[in-house]
Amino acid sequence: MSVDAAREHNGQGLHALMERYVDGDRRAFARMHAMLAPRLRRFLMKFVRDEATVEDLVQLTMLKAHLARERFQVQGGNPDGAVQGWYFAIARNVAMDHLRKQYRQDRHMVRARGDQDDASSDVVTSLADDAPSIEEIGINREAELEIVERVHEAIAKLPMSQREVVELHKLRGMTMAEIARRLKIREGAVRVRAHRAYKSLARWLVPSSLLPLLMYPLT
């Protein structure tokens, strides 16, 4: 029996771990993470040469896979390979998005620098120096944009009375008292609508432990 076959037999293969992870087994997830993270790092290094960026992309890949784990299905005759392939597909998309964003920002900066009538500006030098800030903006911004989009979609699903409270409260920064005056209803009623709305949003969106990721500005 090969090592992989032995692992599968003992419930330690990637597919067996994935099944238990999807069921909620934390230890299975920890084992799977230990197996997959190094492979993802090596895979992503082919796209992005910077180790810090690769590490960020690995984290983003893991999070995206976690949010989509219920949709994982085995295709083909190699269940362990299917799990790895699924993670690699997500990692590839994450890397491509990062590179596209990096290219757009590089091009924008080149054009901006080129427009300046300053003989001392060195476009190539400033481009190389800006590499860290592209990563700093790119990785986090990608995750932010996706989350913002999902939050907006969820807000659109709310009943009208709850939606307007959320929009006034979160998007325009009004207080409960100000919202009550604007909508000509009691402040208590505003609070009730807000509570129900946020409860629905929490149920639809990412579970509670990932809510801190949602606390980016919605505008």
Stretch of residues binding other proteins (CB under 8 A), selected from 101-109, 112-120, 193-201, 208-216: 208-216
Q: Over the Cα atoms of the chain, what is R_g?
A: 23
Residue with tokens 């500005």: 217
Stretch of residues binding other proteins (CB under 8 A), selected from 30-38, 170-178, 186-194, 197-205: 30-38
Quick one: which of 135, 141, 165, 166 has its CA closest to 151?
166
Q: Find the shortest distance in angstroms from Cβ 145 to other proteins.
A: 15
Interface with other proteins, residue 35, by CB under 8 A: no
Two structure tokens written together for 34: 């230990």
**CA of 217: how far to CAs of 44, 76, 131, 214, in Å?**
30, 42, 25, 8
Residues 89-128 as x/- pattern, contact with other proteins by CB under 8 A: ----------------------------------------
Interface with other proteins, residue 210, by CB under 8 A: yes
Cα Dmax for the chain = 74
**Over the range 182-216, which residues count as b (16 or more CB within 10 Å of their CB) and which as e?**
eeeeeeeebeebbeebbebbeeebbeeeeeeebee
Interface with other proteins, residue 219, by CB under 8 A: no
Two structure tokens written together for 54: 């690769």
Interface with other proteins, residue 55, by CB under 8 A: yes
CA 190 to chain centroid? 31
Q: In the complex with other proteins, which residue's Cβ is closer, 19 or 106?
A: 19
Stretch of residues binding other proteins (CB under 8 A), selected from 90-98, 180-188, 195-203, 209-217: 209-217
Stretch of residues binding other proteins (CB under 8 A), selected from 15-23, 78-86, 161-169, 180-188: 15-23
Interface with other proteins, residue 58, by CB under 8 A: yes
